[in-house]
Every structure is written in structure tokens, then in C-alpha cells.
Amino acid sequence: MDLIDWPFVARNALWILGLSVAFAAWSYISWWASTRHVRLRHALDTPRFQLPFSAGLTLFSISLAWGATRWWERGLWILLGLAFLWQTIVHWRAGTMRGWDGKT
């Protein structure tokens, strides 16, 4: 007798992890901006924030696509997840090439 539905646990752990990463990125960048006397609006536009935030939302979208019951709902979550994955890649490249603070 299997009492635990492991795919259900994994799917829910994935969206919790994704939102945790996104909220942690928000919290960190808020602290980072206040300690360096940088406007939060500017800090939110840096790869330092955008990379983990997009990665977290990618995990969140994957989890919701995994749990979707309709084909069109799954397709929309997959498209959104791919868009966030693309943003993650772009901001990772920007961070490694131009610096994590968004300066050239």
C-alpha cells in the first residue's frame, strides 16, 4: 500500500521552491539596494535580481504545467515557463559579460 503520492509531493515542492526563490531574490535585492543607497527601481533592473527571479518563476511555471489538466492550460504554462527560461539565460549572460550590477 502506497500512502504517499510522490509525484504530487514533487509537483507541489517545485512550485513552493520556485516562489521561495523568487521571494528570496526580491528580499535580497531590497536589502542590497538599501545598503548601497541605490534606488530599488534600478536594482530590480539588474541581472543580480532578474536571474534568480526568472529562475524561480521558471520552476513555478513548470510545476503548474505539470499539474495542468487541460491541454491548452498546459500549453500556456509551458510557453510562460519557456519565456522565463529565456529571461534566465539572457540575464545570466548579461551578468557574466557586463557585471551583475548592470554596469558596462
Residue 52 domain-assigned (yes or no): yes
Asked if residue 93 is part of any domain, the answer here is yes
Tell me the residue range of the domain where 65 lies: 14-98
Average per-residue pLDDT in the chain?
93
pTM above 0.85, yes or no: yes
Query: 82-101, pLDDT tens digit by residue?
Result: 999 999 999 999 999 988 88
Q: Is residue 62 part of a domain?
A: yes
pLDDT (tens digit, 9 = 90+) per residue, 24-48? 999 999 999 999 999 999 999 999 9
Instruction: Count how many domains the chain has.
Output: 1
Cα 23 to Cα 43, 46, 50, 71, distances in angstroms: 15, 16, 12, 29
Residue 38 domain-assigned (yes or no): yes
The answer to the question of residue 35 being in a domain is yes
Q: Is 66 domain-assigned?
A: yes
In this predicted model, what pLDDT tens digit does every residue of 63-81 receive, in sequence order? 999 999 999 999 999 999 9
